[in-house]
């Protein structure tokens, strides 16, 4: 790793900042453990020496902030992308839920870190808005009887968050639930909380 890296050309040293954040994300995703996010481990992963990080971040906390900001951007983009395919608002809402929960499952430690300390971060507001808009379109469509899409979007979000963090594929038998149809379970939750008809 350290051997293969070639230094950035003069004037483009800022590229390393992006590489460092990417290395931190790869590290927490692969170890699936937020505790492995140390400054030295991130540097090793990025193929640089530990002090090099200080040219781009004041300290580890600032690096973590950048990781979180990038992660919220990714989550928003994943959900927004999933909502582009469907043609009706009910399917959009379902796609939002599935993609959101999938992100939580696939990046478990990172997702938990995103919501660990600060409650829901300001950066999650834009993703919340996607859900709210979808419910509003369902109401306009006649497929939701929600009287308050804003409040109901919050309920849906809480449910998505619960699925993303509580349920981990492979442990279902503990509750004698049999093989769980997770997409169906999430659809049920979203349908009831967003007051979908039919």
Partner DNA sequence: TGTACATCAGTGAACGCGCGTTCACTGATGTAC
- Binding stretches for DNA (CB under 7 A): 2, 5, 7-16, 38-41, 47-52, 54-55, 59-60
**Segment 112-171, which members bind a copy of itself (CB under 8 A)?**
112, 115-116, 118-120, 122, 125, 128, 150-151, 154-155, 157-163, 165-168, 170-171
Pick between residue 16 and residue 111 the one whose CB is nearest to a copy of itself. Answer: 111
Q: Please select the residue that binds a copy of itself; options are 38, 73, 192, 197, rule is CB under 8 A.
A: 192
Q: How far is the CB of 99 from a copy of itself (least distance, A)?
A: 17
Which residues, 6+ apart, have CB-to-CB distance to 140 below 8 Å? 89
Cβ neighbours of 101 (radius 10 Å): 24
177 in contact with a copy of itself (CB under 8 A): yes
C-alpha span between 46 and 20 (Å, rounded): 6
Q: Tokens 């870190």 belong to which residue?
A: 113
Q: Tokens 């829901």 belong to which residue?
A: 120
C-alpha span between 124 and 75 (Å, rounded): 9
Q: How far is the CB of 39 from DNA (least distance, A)?
A: 3
DSSP state of 123: G
37 in contact with a copy of itself (CB under 8 A): no
């Amino acid at each position: 790793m350290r051997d293969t890296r070639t230094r950035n050309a003069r004037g483009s040293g800022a590229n390393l900042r992006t590489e460092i954040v990417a290395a931190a994300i790869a590290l927490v995703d692969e170890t699936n453990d937020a505790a492995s996010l140390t400054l030295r481990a991130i540097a090793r992963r990025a193929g640089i020496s530990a002090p090099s990080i200080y040219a781009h971040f004041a300290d580890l906390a600032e690096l973590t902030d950048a990781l979180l900001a990038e992660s919220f951007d990714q989550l928003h983009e994943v959900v927004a992308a999933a909502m582009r395919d469907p043609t009706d608002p009910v399917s959009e809402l379902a796609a939002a839920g599935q993609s959101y929960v999938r992100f939580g499952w696939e990046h478990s430690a990172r997702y938990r870190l995103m919501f660990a300390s600060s409650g829901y971060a300001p950066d999650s507001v834009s993703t919340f808005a996607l859900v709210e808009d979808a419910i509003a379109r369902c109401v306009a469509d006649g497929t939701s009887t929600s009287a308050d899409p804003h409040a109901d979007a919050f309920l849906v979000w809480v449910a998505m968050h619960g699925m993303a963090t509580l349920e981990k594929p492979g442990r279902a038998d503990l509750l004698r639930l049999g093989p769980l149809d997770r997409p169906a379970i999430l659809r049920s939750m979203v349908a009831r909380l967003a007051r979908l008809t039919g």
